[in-house]
Amino acid sequence: MNETTITARPGTPFIDIVREFDAPPHLVFRAWTDPEIVPRWLGPSTTTMTVVEWDATPGGRYSYVHRDQDGEYGFRGVFHTVVADERIVQTFQYDGRPQDVSLETLTFEDLGGRTRVRNHAVFGSVESRDAMIESGMERGVRDSMARLEQLLPR
């Protein structure tokens, strides 16, 4: 099984996430950008997801809500760059901390029928980055990546 690596070096405003998938870039990219597929894998396994808006084009917006037994959690952002099967640059914002917006650059690297996804998130401050880590994002990221792995065709 492929492992998800999450790196957040102390004193820096960055989070780096790397995961390899046993599927070609076009399928992984589609799973990341298709509003019919995204709710099937994005978020902790204990939540359900409702897409409010999802326009994965340059300048397009997205918003969604995760729900669990404890409540609702809204997220939103703007897609700034979308290059099919290669790259996405987007903002990411949790409604519960609207002051903490990150800029994420995702790359989809072709490994000959497999794909390496890299997500480099830049926060406005170390404090904002630390707040994201303390929110439990690691569990959500790991759950999401495992769910996506199961969803992708072999």
pTM (2 d.p.): 0.94
The H or E element containing residue 64 is strand 61-68
Residue 137 belongs to domain spanning: 4-151
Handedness of CA 74, 129, 59, 44 (dihedral sign): negative
pLDDT value at 1 more than 90: no
CATH value at residue 137: 3.30.530.20
Using DSSP's 3-state secondary structure scheme, residue 10 falls into coil
For the stretch 92-142, pLDDT in tens is 999 988 899 999 999 999 999 999 999 999 999 999 999 999 988 999 999
Pairwise CA distance, residues 107 & 109, whole Å? 6
Q: What total of structural domains would you count in the chain?
A: 1
Q: Are 136 and 144 contacting, i.e. CB atoms less than 8 angstroms apart? A: no
Angle separating helix axes 25-33 and 137-151, nearest 10 degrees:
120
